[in-house]
Chain A
Amino acid sequence: MAINYIYPEFEVVRNADRCTACRVCALQCANGVHTYADGVMISDERKCVACHRCVALCPTRALKIVKSDHTFRPNGNWSGQAIEEIYRQAETGGVLLSSMGNPTSLPVYWDKILINASQVTNPPIDPLREPMETRVFLGKKPNGMRRNPDGTLDTRMSPQLELKVPILFSAMSYGSISYNAHASLAQAAAELGTYYNTGEGGLHEDFYQYGANTIVQVASGRFGVHPDYLEAGAAIEIKMGQGAKPGIGGHLPGAKISEDVSETRMIPQGTDAISPAPHHDIYSIEDLRQLVYSLKEATAYRKPIIVKVAAVHNIAAIASGIARSGADVIAIDGFRGGTGAAPTRVRDNVGIPIELALAAVDQRLRDEGIRNEVSLVIGGSVRNSADVVKAVALGADAVYIGTSALIALGCHLCRSCQTGLCNWGIATQRPDLVKRLDPDVGRQRLVNLVSAWNHEIQELMGGMGINSIESMRGNRLMLRGVGLNQTELDIFGIKHAGA
C-alpha cells in the first residue's frame, strides 16, 4: 500500500444523533467528501477544503469542520505546513500553486493605524442630518485655470469616471470566476453607481448592457480585446501586474475553460489560458506610453486609461513613470491581493504591503508636482470601511475590493479556486455549481455591503468633522500609528499615537 505522508488538515465532525442521512452534504460537496453507504454517511476528509458548504446547508446542524489536532513533533522552525509542502513537492516535482491572497502573518498595517475624531473644537458632523459627500471623480485634474484665445474659460476636461461611493470592484476575470458572479458584480455596480472590472478574460456578450459601469481590462494575453469591447467600457485598465503574483503572468487551468469562456477568450476549450509575464510590446515606460496612447487613439480620447501594477519595492518610482505615460489613473495592488491561482512562493514572498506602497506613491507624486496628473486607486486587501478611510487619508482616491466582494457572495476563503470546484458557485465554470449563486441574491448582498460601508465612511468622516471625502484625501493628520517604528511612521508620514 502506498504511504500517505499527508494527514488531512480538517476533520469532518458529524453528530450521529442529529444526522438523518438526508444526503444533502453529499449532493453539495463537489470535492466528494461525503458519501452514503449502508444507511450512514461517511466522510473522506482528505478531500475537505473547509469551504463550509455542507455545514451551511445541513438541515439538522449535524456537521462541523474542525482543524485536526494531529501534529508533527512541535518545532519552532519547521511548521507542519513547511514539512507538508516538502512532501507535496517531493511527490510531484511541481511548483506549489495556491489561491486567494497571502495568508501569512506578515504585518497588516491598517490595524496599526488609528483614525482621529473631533471633540471640543471643530465639532463632529452628524451624517444623519448633514449632507456627507462620498462621490469621487477619477481622472486627470487640471493644474490651473486655462483660457481660450478669446478670453473665455477653457472648460474642457480629461475624461473622468464618476463614482457615487469611493469603492470599485476589482478585476476578476470571466473564467476565474463564474458567469453568475460576474452578473452579480455588474448589476451591483450599476445599482451602486460604481464600476466592476472584467479582468483579463474579455466581456461576455450578455454583460455589454452594463458597459456604463464596467472597466474593461487589457492584459498581456489580450483575451477578448477588440474595438467593441474597448468601446463598451467606461474606462480601460491595462494590467501590468497583480499583487498576488507580481512579475509573473496568469494561468487559467484548462479545467476552467468552458465553451463560453473559450468563446469570450478566443482560445481552444479545455486548454490552459496563459497570460505571459510581460506585455510583449512593453519593455519600458515609453512602450507603456505607446499602449496607453494606442488605446486612447482607438477610443478617440473619450475613456480614461487605468494602469494597474503590483506594489513592489520601487513602486514610487514606477508610479512616477506611469503618471508620465499619459495614464489617467494608477491602480496599485498590494501583496495581500487575491488570485484564482498563483505559485505559493510568489504569492507569499513577493511584493510589499499596500499601505506602505500607497503612502510612498502619494508622497512621491506630490513631491514631483504631478499628483493631479493621475488618480490613485488601491487594493489588496481592503477588508472594511475603516481600511477605506485609512487608505483615503493616506492619499488614495478610491479603493478596489475583490476578496471582500467575493466573501459577500458567499466565499469562505477555502483558497481552492484553482481546482475549479467552488461549492459556492463563484470560482467555477461547472454549470451545476454556477447555478448555486443566484445573481439577484448576489447583487443584493454586494449592494448591502457597499452601502453599509458607505454609511460607516460617512460616520467616520463626520466624527473627524469632515463632510467631503475630498477633504479627507491625503489628510494624514487624521491618522496616528500604534506600535510602529520611526521608519514606518516616516514612510506613512504620520505621527505615533499620543504625539
Chain B
Amino acid sequence: MVIDAKQYDFQALNEQIRAAEGDVTVENCMGHRFIAAGASGRTITINGVPGNALGCYLNCATVVVNGNAQDAVGDTMNDGRIVIHGDAGDAVGYAMRGGQIYVRGNVGYRAGIHMKAYKDKVPAVIIGGHAGSFLGEYQAGGIIIVLGIDCPDDRVIGEFCGTGVHGGRIFIRAHEIKRALPPQVRCEVATDEDLASVRDYIRQYETCFSRKIPDDGKRLFVLSPNSANPYKKMYAVN
C-alpha cells in the first residue's frame, strides 16, 4: 500500500500505517515523527525525510528510508532492521536491544548509547561514515561499527566515546585512533576472531548500499570495557 504523507500530520499518517495491511510505502515524507513505532512483521519504505523517533520500539519490522533521517532512529528498538540511505541525526539506536540499523553515511551525537544485549539477542549499529561525540556511552552490550569511509582519522569518532561502558564492543575503522578515549575503554587492533564476528554486518552494509569498503589501508580497532564495574570505587557505604 502507498500512502502519500503530504496530506497528513504525524498522528493521522501513523494511524494510516497501523491500519494498513502488509507492506507500506510512504511517499513525500517530510518530518513526520514516530513512523513505525513498535511495528512488527512488515516492511515500511519511506521516500523523503522521516522525523524524529523513526522506528522507536521497533519489533521485527523492516524500515527503509530513501533519504536522510532525523534524531532518535530506532530508539529502544527491540528487533528488526532499519536501513537509512543517507545520514541520520543524534541518538541513533539509543538503548537498542536487538536488530540492526544500517546508516549509509554519518550519524550525529550519542549514537548507540545504552545499547544492551542478552545471550543471542545482540543489537548492531553499522555506520558508513563518521559518528559524533558520546558514541556508545554507557553501552552494556551489542555492537557498534563505524566504517569511516572517506573520512579522516580525526573525524571518525568524536569526544567521550564509550564513557561508562560495561559491556558490548565498538569497532572503528581507521589508520589510527586519534581521539583520546575515557579510562573505562580498552582499545586494541581487532583480532581475526573479532573480524569474523563482524564480517557479516560489513558484508550486509556493502550489499544494502551497493558500496565497497575502500582498500585504503585502514585497520579495524575494537573498543571494549576494561572493567566490569566502571564506577564501583567511587562509593563508600554510609
Interface of A toward B, CB cutoff 8 Å: 85, 88-89, 91-98, 218, 220-223, 225-228, 230, 251, 253-254, 262-263, 265-268, 270-274, 276, 280-281, 290, 293-294, 297-300, 343-344, 416, 418-419
Of B56, B113, B229, which contacts A271 at CB under 8 A? Answer: B229
Q: Is the CB of B116 within 8 A of A266?
A: yes
Rank and list the top 5 A-B pairs by shortest CB-CB distance, nearest first.
Answer: A94-B236, A222-B95, A298-B38, A266-B116, A96-B238
Contacts of A273 in B (CB 8 A): 140
B residues 121-180 touching A (CB-CB < 8 Å): 121, 134, 137-138, 140-141, 164, 166-167
Q: Which residue of B lies closest to A418 (CB)?
A: B237
Q: Is the CB of A274 within 8 A of B164?
A: yes
Contacts of A221 in B (CB 8 A): 95, 114, 138
Contacts of A95 in B (CB 8 A): 234-236
Q: For the complex, give the distance between the alpha carbons of A271 and B137 in Å.
A: 15
Contacts of A88 in B (CB 8 A): 236, 238
B72 within 8 A of A: yes
Which of A85, A95, A265, A297 counts the most B-chain CB atoms under 10 A from its CB?
A297
Q: Is the CB of A297 within 8 A of B34?
A: yes
Of B34, B114, B230, B235, which contacts A276 at CB under 8 A? Answer: B114
16 more A-B contacts (CB under 8 A) besides A228-B59, A254-B232, A297-B56?
A: A221-B95, A226-B59, A266-B121, A267-B118, A267-B166, A272-B230, A274-B164, A276-B138, A280-B113, A280-B137, A281-B75, A281-B90, A281-B94, A290-B33, A298-B34, A416-B237
Contacts of B222 in A (CB 8 A): none
* B115 CB → nearest A CB, Å: 9
* Interchain Cβ contacts under 8 Å between A and B, 8 examples: A93-B236, A227-B57, A271-B167, A272-B228, A281-B90, A293-B34, A297-B33, A298-B37
Q: Is the CB of B116 within 8 A of A290?
A: no
Contacts of B78 in A (CB 8 A): 226-227
Q: For the complex, give the distance between the alpha carbons of A151 and B3 in Å.
A: 32
* A216 CB → nearest B CB, Å: 12
B85 within 8 A of A: no
Of A89, A266, A293, which contacts B97 at CB under 8 A? Answer: A266
Q: Is the CB of B40 within 8 A of A227?
A: yes
* B108 CB → nearest A CB, Å: 12
Q: Which residue of A lies closest to B166 (CB)?
A: A271
* A224 CB → nearest B CB, Å: 9
Of A254, A262, A280, which contacts B118 at CB under 8 A? Answer: A262
Q: For the complex, give the distance between the alpha carbons of A230 and B232 in Å.
A: 32
Interface residue range, chain B = 35 or more
Of A94, A220, A272, A297, which contacts B38 at CB under 8 A? Answer: A297
Q: Is the CB of B166 within 8 A of A274?
A: yes
Q: Is the CB of A266 within 8 A of B53?
A: no
* A232 CB → nearest B CB, Å: 13
Q: For the complex, give the distance between the alpha carbons of A283 and B90 in Å.
A: 12
Q: Is the CB of A92 within 8 A of B110?
A: no
* 0/1 string, B35-77, CB within 8 A of A gives 1: 0011010000000000011001101000000000001100110
Q: For the complex, give the distance between the alpha carbons of A254 and B231 in Å.
A: 10
Q: For the complex, give the distance between the alpha carbons of A266 and B17 in Å.
A: 30
Q: Is the CB of B38 within 8 A of A254?
A: no
Q: For the complex, give the distance between the alpha carbons of A265 and B140 in Å.
A: 10
Q: Is the CB of B95 within 8 A of A98?
A: no
Q: For the complex, give the distance between the alpha carbons of A267 and B141 in Å.
A: 7
Contacts of B52 in A (CB 8 A): 290
Contacts of B110 in A (CB 8 A): 280
* B39 CB → nearest A CB, Å: 9
- Our count of residue pairs bridging A and B at CB distance below 8 angstroms stands at 145
Q: Which residue of A lies closest to B72 (CB)?
A: A281
Contacts of B11 in A (CB 8 A): 297
Contacts of B57 in A (CB 8 A): 225-227, 230, 294, 298
Q: Which residue of B lies closest to A263 (CB)?
A: B118
Q: Is the CB of A294 within 8 A of B113?
A: no
Q: Is the CB of A274 within 8 A of B231?
A: yes
B residues 159-210 touching A (CB-CB < 8 Å): 164, 166-167
Contacts of A280 in B (CB 8 A): 91, 94, 110, 113-114, 134, 137
Q: Is the CB of A294 within 8 A of B37?
A: yes
* B163 CB → nearest A CB, Å: 10
Q: Is the CB of A281 within 8 A of B71?
A: yes
Q: Which residue of B lies closest to A270 (CB)?
A: B228
Of B14, B90, B141, B164, which contacts A297 at CB under 8 A? Answer: B14
* B237 CB → nearest A CB, Å: 6
* 0/1 string, B88-120, CB within 8 A of A gives 1: 001100110100000000000010011011100
Q: Which residue of B lies closest to A345 (CB)?
A: B238
Contacts of B236 in A (CB 8 A): 88-89, 91-97
Contacts of A262 in B (CB 8 A): 118
Q: Which residue of A lies closest to B15 (CB)?
A: A300
Of B56, B90, B118, B229, which contacts A272 at CB under 8 A? Answer: B229
Q: Is the CB of A268 within 8 A of B167?
A: yes
Of B97, B140, B141, B238, which contacts A344 at CB under 8 A? Answer: B238
Q: Is the CB of B33 within 8 A of A97?
A: no
Of B40, B76, B141, which contacts A222 at CB under 8 A? Answer: B76
Contacts of A294 in B (CB 8 A): 33-34, 37, 53, 56-57, 72, 75
Q: Is the CB of A97 within 8 A of B237?
A: yes
Of B14, B38, B114, which contacts A230 at CB under 8 A? Answer: B38
Contacts of A297 in B (CB 8 A): 11, 14, 33-34, 37-38, 56
Q: Which residue of A lies closest to B168 (CB)?
A: A268
Contacts of B238 in A (CB 8 A): 85, 88, 96-98, 344
* 0/1 string, B217-236, CB within 8 A of A gives 1: 00000000000111111111
Contacts of B235 in A (CB 8 A): 94-97, 343
Q: Is the CB of A272 within 8 A of B76?
A: no
* B223 CB → nearest A CB, Å: 16
Q: For the complex, give the distance between the alpha carbons of A323 and B83 in Å.
A: 35
* A190 CB → nearest B CB, Å: 26
